[in-house]
Amino acid sequence: MEINKNYLNLKDSYLFRTIAQKVNEYKSAHPERDVIRLGIGDVTLPLAPEIVAAMSGAVAEMGRKETFRGYDDTNGYGFLKQALRGYYAQKSVELSDAEIFVGDGAKSDIGNILDIFGEENAVVVPDPVYPVYADTNIMAGRKVTYINGNAGNNFLPLPDKDTRADIIYLCSPNNPTGAVYDRRSLGRWVDYALDAGAVILFDAAYEAYVSDPALPTSIYQIEGAKKCAVEICSFSKTAGFTGVRCGYTVVPAELVRGGVSLNKLWGRRQSTKFNGVSYITQRGAAAALSSQGLGQIKESIRYYMENARVIAETLRELGLWFTGGENSPYIWLRCPNGMSSWEFFDYLLNNANVVGTPGSGFGANGEGFFRLTAFGDAENLREAAERIKILLR
């Protein structure tokens, strides 16, 4: 018997697990200290009332013989697809039901979609970026090439004459840097993919945080993208579903490679390895996209973005370089006094009892940088900002 040896090429532990372990050790050693977590991007506000009502109604339906439901279409109920089509119509993007695949979150689909691509494909991943893109390819034995994000290009790398990619990962608004591609830059990637016959896997998990109407919130707002891009998105950050679990993947009908429809391949993969998202959850997701639901989830987003403004203001006062915090719940800062990412992590934890995420955990180019999230409780976050100000002044 052989194990999948590709796993031996991974780092020992997933970034957020390592951080959680370190914080737990610190808390056991100093139980009296009040540690504020601005590390993992996990929401803290409760579900919106419209979502709770819809989910409660769905629970009641499941408890009655006449309205009970068992298995349904693996790829999502018609009512949720209709709500998603309406959401995309507001972005001037037209989708059909068959192009939408409801799943249990962006992270799973980002990993699972690799099933439909050959092992020999050249994979390009921006550095720094969400670790799941590289890790899932390493698990499958694919070689990953990195494209440099840095302060010089505002952490928004573009293809150049040396770029050789079959699969390209893009995340905008970006995790971890909070940087957002504008239409022109995203258009450069779409043009590259169309020319090269590559496929872009576009992670739009933070699209709901974009408030600047000039910035794209879906790759399909870019001409030609339906012929070269898969879009993966989630209700986690949009509607506070990190603990509920629901997301969706769009595979356009026009996306064909090697004479084969990727929509058909993904549908085939899902019907074999997946049995769909619970009815209760999908009712909640559809309610999030109703007009009342959208109003309520936008309130939560405003709350988090006010947190982002507080952090940004603090960093400005301290004269620290950062990106993000506008159109994104993440703030990406340069560590003060030339500290490495993990040095700053320890310094902040030990002296201010504030937890962030070391930039180097997102790739080599993240070394010397640090990520803070705006998802915390507003009062705690103000306290954290105050502690950071006192420590770094």
Binding residues (CB under 6 A) for ligand MLT: these are 40-42, 107, 130, 175
Q: Whole-number minimum distance, CB 90 to ligand MLT, in Å? A: 24
CB 96 within 8 A of CB 103: no
Nearer to ligand MLT, 20 or 196 (CB): 20
Q: Whole-number minimum distance, CB 132 to ligand MLT, in Å? A: 7
In angstroms, rounded to a whole number, what is the distance separating the alpha carbons of residues 190 and 88?
A: 19
Q: Whole-number minimum distance, CB 13 to ligand MLT, in Å? A: 15
* H/E element, 383: helix 378-392
Q: Whole-number minimum distance, CB 328 to ligand MLT, in Å? A: 12
Tokens of 150: 């840095």
Nearer to ligand MLT, 40 or 122 (CB): 40
Q: Whole-number minimum distance, CB 93 to ligand MLT, in Å? A: 23
CB 244 within 8 A of CB 284: yes
Give percent helix, percent strand, percent coil of the chain, each to the nearest 5.
Answer: 45, 15, 40
Q: In the bound complex, which residue of the shown chain has the CB atom lying closest to ligand MLT?
A: 41
Q: Whole-number minimum distance, CB 111 to ligand MLT, in Å? A: 11
Nearer to ligand MLT, 121 or 328 (CB): 328
Nearer to ligand MLT, 112 or 263 (CB): 112
- What is residue 121's DSSP assignment? -
Please classify residue 64 by burial: count the beta carbons closer than 10 Å to its beta carbon, then call 0-12 exposed, 13-18 middle and 19+ buried.
exposed
- What is residue 259's DSSP assignment? T
Nearer to ligand MLT, 130 or 304 (CB): 130
Q: Whole-number minimum distance, CB 42 to ligand MLT, in Å? A: 6
Nearer to ligand MLT, 176 or 252 (CB): 176
Nearer to ligand MLT, 40 or 391 (CB): 40
CA 91, distance to chain mean position in Å, is: 19
CA distances, 160 to each of 88, 146, 191, 387 (Å): 31, 13, 12, 42
Contacts (Cβ under 8 Å, ≥6 apart) of 100: 75, 76, 81, 84, 85, 248, 249, 250
Neighbouring C-alpha atoms within 13 Å toward the C-beta of 359: 29
In angstroms, rounded to a whole number, what is the distance separating the alpha carbons of residues 272 and 99?
A: 18
Q: How many helices (H) and strands (E) does the chain have?
A: 12, 15
Backbone angles phi, psi at 370, to 5 degrees: -150, 140
Nearer to ligand MLT, 54 or 171 (CB): 171
Contacts (Cβ under 8 Å, ≥6 apart) of 319: none
Nearer to ligand MLT, 35 or 40 (CB): 40
Nearer to ligand MLT, 41 or 252 (CB): 41
In angstroms, rounded to a whole number, what is the distance separating the alpha carbons of residues 114 and 96?
A: 23
* H/E element, 175: none
Q: Whole-number minimum distance, CB 188 to ligand MLT, in Å? A: 25
In angstroms, rounded to a whole number, what is the distance separating the alpha carbons of residues 308 and 153?
A: 22
Q: Whole-number minimum distance, CB 104 to ligand MLT, in Å? A: 12
* H/E element, 120: none
Integer Rg of the chain from CA: 21
Q: Whole-number minimum distance, CB 135 to ligand MLT, in Å? A: 12
